[in-house]
Amino acid sequence: MRRRSLRFQTLAGTILIVALGQVLAIVAMTLLVVRPQIERTADMVAQNVSVMIETYDGLPPDARPVILARLKASPYLAVWQGAAPPDRSGPPPRYMERAFMRALADRLSTQAHLDWRTDSRRKLWVQVYLAGQPYWIGLKPKSVFAPTGLIATLMLIAVGLASLPAYWLSRQLLQPLTDLRSAADRLNLSAHPEPLREDGLDEIAGLSRSFNAMTGRLREIEANRALVLAGISHDLRTPLTKLRLGLEMAGIADPALRESTLRQVETIERILSRFLQFARGFDAEPAEAVRLADLFAALRADYADTGLQVVPPPPGMTVMARPIALHRALGNLIENALTYGRPPVRLSWRWEGEGQDASGLLLSVLDQGEGFGEGEAELYVKPFVCGDAARQPQGGAAPGTGLGLAMVDQIVRLHGARLVFCRRDGGFEAAIVLPQIYGS
C-alpha cells in the first residue's frame, strides 16, 4: 500500500476543495452571468448588422460609397471589402468567442454568410453581402470576451492564497503529531524523551498529556525495577561473601567438591554483578570521543587467554560514545561468542556500505557457531531469556543469566545504534552498527 503523509493529504485536500469550488463558481458564473451577456451582445450586434445591411441595400447606388466610407471610419467596427478577410494569422476562437459566434449565427443565418476568421489581434470577422458584394465586418466585443482570462487569473490567485493558510493550518495540526512520533521513536528502557508541549488544540493537547503521563509511568516503573534488582543483589552479596569465607576456612577434604562449590558461589556473584550493572544502566555516563584502536586493544587484553582474533581499526578512527558502555557491549558479544559459539572468535570493524553510500560503522564479533534464526533475535535481547539447544554453553561453561544481550541492546539503543545478527563467512555474526555521524 502506498504511504502518504497526513500533512500532504491535508494540504492537497484543502487545495483540491478550493480548486473545485473555483471551478463550480466559474461554471455558475458562465451559466448565470456570462451566457446571458453573450446572448444580449449577439442580439445587439445582429440587430445592428441587419439594420446596416437593409439600410445599405435600400440606398441609391450613388449614395452607397459615402455610407461605406463612414462605416470604414467608425471606431466601433472594421469594414473590409473582398472575398477573403484581411488577416488569417489569428489563433482559433476561444470558448467565449465560439459561443458568441453560435449565438450570432442563429440570428443572422438568413442575412449574412457567417464565415468566421480571427486575426492576430483576436478580432472576429463575419462575412456579409452588401448590395451583392462580399464584405468582412470586424468585431471585438471586449465586454464579453475579456472575463475569460480574468476568471482564470482570479482562480489561480485564489488557489495560491488558499494554499498558504492550508499549509499553515496543516503545520499547526500535524507538527505536534510529528513531535509525538519522534518522541515515541526515542522512547526506550534507558532513555526517555523530553515532555511534549501540552498547548494547542484540545485533542492534540490531550494526546500530548497522555503521552507525557505514559512516559512518566514508564520512568517510575523502570526506577522501581532497578531499585528492586539493586536491592536484591546488594542484600545477597554479604551472605555470599560469608559463604565463600566459610568454604575457604572449612577445609573440605575433597578438592573437587571444594572447587565445584566455589565455582557455584562465583557464578552466583557473577549473576548478581550482572543484575546490578543492568539495573544501574549506562545513561549516566557522558559521551566522549573514543579511539577505536584503544578500545580494541583493551578488549584484546581482556580476552588474551581465549584466542580472540582482533582486526584493529586505523589509529585515528574515533567514535562519539560512552566508553565504558561500549566496552561492556562488545565484551558481552565476545563472551557470548566464546561461550555459545565455536572458535575462532574475531573482533573486527567495517563500514556498512561503501564510499559516500556508507550508512554506518559496523563493529563485528564473528564466531564459527550455528547461531540462531533471524526471527529469534527479538526474543534473545529480552532480559532473562537464554538460548535454546543450538546455543548452549560450550565446554561445560556455566549457563548465562539472560542479561548479556539485553544489556547490549540497552547500550545500543542508548547510542541510537542498531544491533544486528546474521550468518556470515560460514559462522554467526553479532554486530553493533553505529550511525555514520558517530564515526570519523
Q: Assign domain 213-278 to its CATH architecture.
A: Orthogonal Bundle (1.10)
What whole-number distance in Å separates Cα of residue 381 and Cα of residue 329?
12
What whole-number distance in Å separates Cα of residue 343 and Cα of residue 46?
103
Instruction: Look at strands 112-118 and 427-435 and give their pairing.
Output: unpaired
Q: pLDDT tens across 398-440, in order?
A: 555 677 888 899 899 888 899 999 988 889 999 999 986 544 5
Instruction: Look at strands 309-310 and 346-352 and give their pairing.
Output: parallel
Domain positions in the chain are 6-149, 213-278, 284-438
Which residue, 245, 258, 42, is CA-closest to 144? 42
All 3 cell numbers of residue 30? 458562465
What pLDDT was estimated at residue 149? Answer: 60
DSSP state string for 205-252: HHHHHHHHHHHHHHHHHHHHHHHHHHHHHHHHHHHHHHHHHHHHHHT-
Backbone angles phi, psi at 425, to 5 degrees: 55, 40
Contact 403, 270 (CB under 8 A): no
What pLDDT was estimated at residue 192? Answer: 66
Better-predicted residue by pLDDT, 437 or 369: 369
What pLDDT was estimated at residue 364? Answer: 95
How confident is the prediction for the chain on average, in pLDDT? 77
Q: Assign domain 284-438 to its CATH architecture.
A: 2-Layer Sandwich (3.30)
70 pLDDT exceeds 90? no
What whole-number distance in Å separates Cα of residue 315 and Cα of residue 358?
20
Better-predicted residue by pLDDT, 243 or 116: 243
Q: Residue 275: enclosing H or E segment and its boundaries?
A: helix 255-280
CATH superfamily of 6-149: Sensor histidine kinase RisS, periplasmic domain (3.30.450.300)
Backbone angles phi, psi at 181, to 5 degrees: -65, -45
What pLDDT was estimated at residue 46? Answer: 79
What pLDDT was estimated at residue 1? Answer: 42
CA distances from 313 to 28, 144, 300, 328 (A): 74, 80, 13, 18
What whole-number distance in Å separates Cα of residue 65 and Cα of residue 96?
34
Contact 322, 415 (CB under 8 A): yes
Strand partners, 139: 124
Q: Residue 302: enclosing H or E segment and its boundaries?
A: helix 292-302
Q: pLDDT tens across 148-160, in order?
A: 566 667 667 776 7
What whole-number distance in Å separates Cα of residue 31 and Cα of residue 52?
31
Strand partners, 112: 128
Which residue, 350, 347, 390, 344, is CA-closest to 367? 344
DSSP state string for 61-84: TTTHHHHHHHHHT-SS-EEEESSS
What pLDDT was estimated at residue 143? Answer: 47
Instruction: Point out the least confidently predicted range of 130-144, 210-224, 357-371.
Output: 130-144
Q: In the 8-state DSSP scheme, what is residue 194?
A: P
Contact 348, 372 (CB under 8 A): no
What's the mean pLDDT in 309-333?
A: 92
**CA dihedral over 177, 182, 185, 190, signed as positive or negative:** negative
